[in-house]
Structure 1
Amino acid sequence: MIKELIESNSGLTLKVDCLNLQQTFECGQCFRWDINDEGNYIGIANNKVIEIRQNSDYVDIVNINKQEFNSFWHSYFDLNRDYQSLINKISNENVMIKATGYGSGIRLLNQDEWETLISFIISANNNIPRIKSIIQSFCESFGDKLYYNGRTYYSFPTPQSLKGITVADLDQIKSGYRAKYIVDAVNKVNEGVVDLYKLSNISTEEARKELLKIKGVGPKVADCILLFSMSKYDCYPMDVWIKRVTENYYFNREASSKEIQELAQNYWGDNAGFAQQYLFYYARNNM
């Protein structure tokens, strides 16, 4: 939560509990934040480029005013949530105590549903550098130009702007077999087969069923979309890595997907998604 906010000509300075930029931007939840030579992060969301730097408990945000911050970025960075209380609540055994201690600066971003859908379709069976490269090419090819500090950036293309796109049109972004899934997502969202921006208003189970109508969206990708853009914090996205992590720390044996999901609900309930992010970040560097 915000303890202090100072406005200047260049932007804003915030004092915030439990916000570490590296941990937040590099825990696998987002792909359009990049560190520059000065050690600052530059990111694009809501058709806006901002630069953000960490200074101990303070963060400086450049190219933003207070109105923009209050209308979008405050929610984007989940600044209404008391993360210390959340950490205390879910740290109910030794593994999670270590994980939350290691990644105590992680915040779950509230990202756009469409961008998250396409980003995680691209992420399937892929590595982070290549995911970021494909998304960057996608935005450069089909997004609108944005300008900041003498450089050109690109917005994330909307489903409406992509109407009628073909697999051949996507050859230039080198997404491989995922191109046909992107086209299917464009079509199903534009045709109303999946009413993407209303899924946050229905139950997690119902929203997951809707997302699974889109080709290339399996249970793990669906749960990432639900968690990172629709506030479905009961989701515990599980790929091969998270399955291995959970087995290693909690079962000491191979476990079925059902067993792992049951454990997540029993241990963390409606906060299982937060627990997954802390575990993911901790295990990546400690297991």
Structure 2
Amino acid sequence: MKSFSLTESQLPFDLDLSLSCGQIFGWKKTRDTWKGVHNGSIVTIRQKGILIEYDGLSQQDVIRFLGLSDPISDIIESIREHIIAYKGSPDRFFETRYSQSRGLRILRQHPWECLVSFICSANSNVSTIGKRINLILGRYGTSCTLFENTFPDPAVLSQCQEPELRECLTGYRAPYLIKTAQYIHEHPDFFHQVRKMEYHQAKDTLMNLPGVGPKVADCVLLFAFEHLNAVPVDIRIRKIIEDKYASLIHTDKSGKLPYDTIGGFCREYFGPYAGYAQQYLFATRDLEKGEVTRSAELP
């Protein structure tokens, strides 16, 4: 395996936390080594202190995939400044959560792989999502080795028969996957166009795809398109915001806060790196193995 040492500006970094905190699926850890699919390649990565060992990608691609170019100290400073500007004092709750999640990075996933993964994620836990994705890869993916496949491209998935795709545990998600694959296949520049859009336009455009509601769109924008202000609001984030921040949210509505109200508040409160802030809140170390979920609302 090839290797490189993390620089001072890339620290702290926690590979295990970054790959297990609900932002990517289908990756497996054996002893100290992670293996999964990224951008059409089978990738192997492990961390030994400040040493990153890897195979399947170039060093530049590993650095980009792992978010190692993100200026973490600047990101945290920005979040803290926006918090103080909003409420006039530091946020002890956020600081506690951040201290439990230091080393986390927002990954830079391939848009198609990320989109398929999060359509598959609706109303599921990480274990089930992983099984679902690996079944899709096994049946329809491009073979790399005897037992390892990468994601099927849109042309392949667009030709799937729904009953067969349901055998991959996709359930009601099967027609969404097929119709979305058909659209992407027919519009090969779709992701390129989305990448040029500002956040709200990009989100609206993604939500035109079958199976993509606001939650899935925000996940794809945050984890594949570098919209670090995107805030996926799942059950866990909703509970945190309603329990800890409800008194700071200015709304005329009572009861359950609307999805967009929570996301809008987070962008005002945490600033342009609200996506990082919500991930620190979400990916705390007190989660039991297998509990993390990115369950999305039904489209």
TM-score by length of 1: 0.86
Equivalent AA in structure 1 for residue 190 of structure 2 = D
Code of the residue aligned with 1:246 in structure 2: it is: I
2:43 match: secondary structure? strand
Corresponding position of 1:11: 2
Quote how far apart the aligned CAs of 1:21 are: 1.2
Structure 1 CA distance for aligned equivalents of residues 131 and 56 of structure 2: 26
- How many equivalent pairs are there? 269
Measure how far apart 1:194 and its partner are: 8.3
Quote the Cα distance in structure 1 between the aligned partners of 2:189 and 2:169. Answer: 26
1:29 equivalent to 2:48? Answer: no
8 Å Cα contact 1:18-1:107 kept in structure 2: no
How far 1:284 moved relative to its partner? 5.8
1:223 shift after superposition: 0.6
What is the Cα deviation at residue 35 of structure 1?
A: 0.7
CA distance in structure 2 between the aligned counterparts of 1:243 and 1:254, rounded to whole angstroms: 12
Q: CA deviation at 1:186?
A: 0.9
- Inter-CA distance 69–249: structure 2 relative to 1 (3 Å threshold): same
| Deviation, structure 1 residue 279 | 0.5
Contact 2:39 2:113 in 1 (8 A): no
Q: What secondary structure sits across from 1:282 in the alignment?
A: coil
Alpha-carbon spacing, 1:284–1:225, altered in 2? closer, same or farther (3 Å): farther
Unaligned runs of 5+ in 1: 1-9
CA separation of 1:219 and 1:193: change in aligned 2, threshold 3 A = farther
Q: What stretches of structure 2 of length at least 5 have no aligned partner?
A: 84-90, 248-253, 289-299
Q: Once the 2 structures are TM-superposed, how far is the Cα of residue 145 of structure 1 from its aligned partner?
A: 1.6
SS across alignment from 2:144? strand
Q: Alignment partner of 1:285: what SS?
A: coil
More displaced stretch, 130-139 vs 254-263 = 254-263
Tell whether 2:212 aligns with 1:210.
no
Query: Residues 46 and 261 of structure 1: is their aligned pair in 2 closer, same or farther, counting only changes over 3 Å?
Result: closer
Separation in 2, partners of 1:198, 1:98? 39
Query: 1:254 deviation in Å?
Result: 5.5
Residue in structure 1 matched with residue 127 of structure 2 by the alignment: 129
Read off the aligned partner of 1:145 and give its amino acid letter. S
CA distance in 1 between counterparts of 2:13 and 2:63 reads 13
Q: 2:194 aligns with which of 186, 194, 199?
A: 199
| 1:47 partnered with 2:40 | yes
1:256 is matched with 257
1:157 equivalent to 2:187? Answer no
Q: CA deviation at 1:64?
A: 4.7
Q: Are the aligned partners of 2:79 and 2:271 in contact in 1 as well (CA < 8 Å)? A: no
Measured in 2, the distance between the counterparts of 1:284 and 1:217 equals 30
Residue aligning to 1:179: 174
Contact 1:12 1:64 (C-alpha < 8 Å) held by counterparts: no
Where does residue 281 of structure 2 map in the other structure? 279
CA distance in 2, matches of 1:180, 1:204: 27
Higher relative contact order (CA 8 A, sep 6+): 2
Distance 2:195 2:172 in 1: 29
- 1:101 counterpart letter in structure 2: S
Within the candidate set 59, 71, 80, 1:69 is matched to: 59
Matched, 1:90 2:67: no
Which deviations, in whole Å up to 9, do the C-alpha atoms of 1:113-133 show, x marking residues without a partner? 111111111101111100000
Structure (1/2) with the larger strand percentage: 1
**Residue by residue, what CA displacement relative to the aligned partner does 1:129-172 show, whole Å, maximum 9, x if unpaired?**
0000000000111111223xxx6311111102323222123133
Partner secondary structure for residue 54 of structure 1 = strand
What is the match of residue 3 of structure 1? none
Given that 1:211 and 1:217 are in contact with CA atoms closer than 8 Å, whether structure 2 keeps it comes out as yes
